[in-house]
Amino acid sequence: MAKPYDVAVIIGSLRKDSFNRRIAQILIESAPAQLQMEVVEIAQLPLYNQDYDQATAPAEYTAFRQRVASADAVLFVTPEHNRSMPAALKNALDVASRPAGQNKWARKPAGIVTASISAIGGFGANHHLRQSLTFLDMPTLQQPEAYIGKVQDLLDASGKPNNDGTREFVKKYIEAFTAWVERIVPPS
């Protein structure tokens, strides 16, 4: 078997026990052997400041940029904040896309899963994130779309899916994402 694809999983929520962190864990546990998925934390990143492009960047920027650069693909799992992506996620996009001409996200296949306690499942965040990923030159999986509404009703106390529909949805999504990564990234 070929070496597994390295997938950086970026979670937009900083909350330790967030629903999106639980969904990310379910996706990681559901991944086939072709994907080696790892959560890449973003909470430690100082706010992006262009002054750092002209001087020594914070160590957190350097480590994050190197990790994004080494990934074969990226899976974003995020809530919605005020009909958009959370500020921490936007900051992570900015940090790894700079300095100008050194975009670490470029050409990496991406997937987006949004989960929310509301019925629309993070629709606004999903589409704002897609807009940014287009600019960052990340080919993004279009179908199936993944908006997980009323997520609090779909997980048990341990954070696992409490129904067959959710388990099947996650399975189909991760299968589609795997096929997308295999289509975009040449095997190593």
CATH of the domain at 174: 3.40.50.360
pLDDT tens-digit series, residues 43-98: 999 999 999 998 889 999 999 999 999 999 999 999 999 999 999 999 999 999 99
Total domains in the chain come to 1
Residue that has been written with the tokens 């897609």 in this structure: 130
Q: Report the DSSP beta bridge partners of residue 5.
A: 35
Tokens for 181, please give them.
Answer: 């990564």
Q: How far is CA 55 from CA 58, 85, 91, 135, in A?
A: 9, 29, 19, 25
The answer as to whether 49 is a domain residue is: yes
In a domain, 90, yes or no: yes
Q: What SS3 state is found at 115?
A: strand
The pLDDT > 90 percentage for the chain reads 95
Strand pairing report for 35-39 and 5-11: parallel
From 75, 151, 77, select the one nearest 119 (Cα to Cα): 151
In a domain, 126, yes or no: yes
Residue 2 belongs to some domain of the structure = no
Task: Give the pair of three-digit tokens for residue 100.
Answer: 């100008």
The pLDDT confidence band at residue 1, using thresholds 50, 70 and 90, is: low
CB contact at 8 A, 41 and 91 = no
CA 64 to chain centroid = 14
Indicate whether 4 belongs to any domain: no
Q: pLDDT tens, 130-165?
A: 999 999 999 999 999 999 999 999 999 999 999 999
Q: Is residue 7 part of a domain?
A: no
Angle between helices 164-184 and 19-30 (to 10 degrees): 70
Would the pLDDT of 188 be above 90? Answer: no
Q: Is residue 28 in some structural domain? A: yes
pTM: 0.97
Q: Quote the domain boundaries for residue 69.
A: 16-183
User: In this structure, how many other beta carbons lie within 10 angstroms of the beta carbon of residue 43?
Assistant: 12
Q: For residue range 155-164, list pLDDT tens digits in order.
A: 999 999 999 9
Residue 75 covered by a domain = yes
CA distance 145 to 55: 40
